[in-house]
Homo-oligomer: A and B are copies of this chain.
Amino acid sequence: MSSDLHEPLHAPDGALCPRFHKAVELIGRRWTGSIVRVLLGGPRRFNELLAAIPGISDRLLTERLRELEGEGLISREVASGSPVRVTYQLTCSGHELQEALDALGRWAERWISVSA
């Protein structure tokens, strides 16, 4: 049965496509989805990201930004001046995550409860 073209997320034997697996773990890595979500609003400086994501630490934000840069989801722009101004922004692939994150956001609105 050659249903691959119609079910591209699965290998022919019904196993999961490793690309899907990689994507879901990339996005779900602690804080990654939230960082991308904030950057969908436009470029941000480090401290703006830090303020927008409740609970993240300096160290973890630095680490995650480096990973996202390494994976090609964000780029870092350094504007000369004093002080040097560094901003982070989504690349093309990063921007295209919007659809998935929006859908997940709608799901969260509907199903996730948070304790006040």
Contacts and interface: CB of A to CB of B under 8 A. Distances in A.
Interface string A86-112: 000000010011011111111111111
Interface string A16-29: 11111111111111
Contact of A33 (B14, B24, B34, B103): B24
A60 interface: no
A8 interface: yes
In the complex, the count of this chain's copies comes to: 2
Classify the interface of chain A: helix, strand, loop or mixed: helix
Contacts of A61: none
B105 A103 contact: no
13 contacts: A14-B52, A15-B51, A17-B108, A19-B112, A19-B114, A20-B105, A21-B34, A23-B105, A24-B32, A26-B28, A27-B28, A28-B33, A93-B111
Given A9-B108, A17-B109, 15 more contacts: A8-B109, A9-B109, A16-B34, A16-B53, A19-B113, A19-B114, A20-B105, A21-B33, A22-B108, A24-B34, A24-B101, A24-B108, A26-B112, A97-B104, A104-B104
